[in-house]
Structure 1
Amino acid sequence: MFSKNTQKSDVAIEQHELLENAQKRIKQKKRLFSHFVVFLIGSVFIVLINKIFKQWEAYDWYIWAISFWGFLFVMHAFNVFVTHKFMGVAWERKQREKLVAKQKAKIAEIQKEIESDFPLSNFNKKKED
């Protein structure tokens, strides 16, 4: 009776994690698409500003501005599509398991130190006296 509920809850937790991961990826891709649209509109706007104010300024600063913004967009795309493949859910799970194992090892080490410094048999003998 209880084991069936445990299995269902494990499956539900796993499905919930998969759903959260899917929602997270959708948000990342949506932000990337929004960044691309803003980049295109902003680039056109920067070129238009340069054309309007070119009467007073001979330097084509807009090339540097658009190049820098394009570099930021490429880094954003790299982060969403490449980095996520290497550091996705499986990587996060492995890192979490490593950290939990380290914490358990530290707890076990501290418990051994406490048991060696304050053995229970000596404590019980002192209580009896």
Structure 2
Amino acid sequence: MRFLNWDESLATGIPECDMQHKKLINMFNAIYDAIRLNVDKKALKEALNSLINYFEKHFALEEELMEKYEYPEAHIHKEEHKKFKENLNKFLQNPQEEINFLEILKFLKNWWLNHILTMDKKYGPFLEIKN
């Protein structure tokens, strides 16, 4: 059973962003599988950190593209990224043995899907026209 699936409703029209979105989905699913298999918490924490680091890389790409093409709502998009990081840090402040990895994964999934469908879908067509 997959935790998250790619479908065309998630496509932004920006090939590099969509490729990174697909990689994020694969990372989500790998962590979900590890949770279901009761992998030790240290390994889960490492996998979660890898996912978070990849989110950072992805956000940097989005923000770079928005600046390059002077996307008018770039500041709003960046603020969403900032809020995401702040909320995620609240989850991660607990000691490792108290972290609910499935709860964090659900938070990430819900936030991210909403972000793609509301924020990323707005800048995709704009960047396609500019590029």
Structure ranking higher on relative contact order (CA contacts 8 Å, 6+ apart): 2
Q: After TM superposition, is the score higher than 0.5?
A: no
Which has more radius of gyration? 1
Q: TM-score, normalised by structure 2?
A: 0.39
Q: TM-score, normalised by structure 1?
A: 0.39
User: Larger % of helix: which?
Assistant: 1
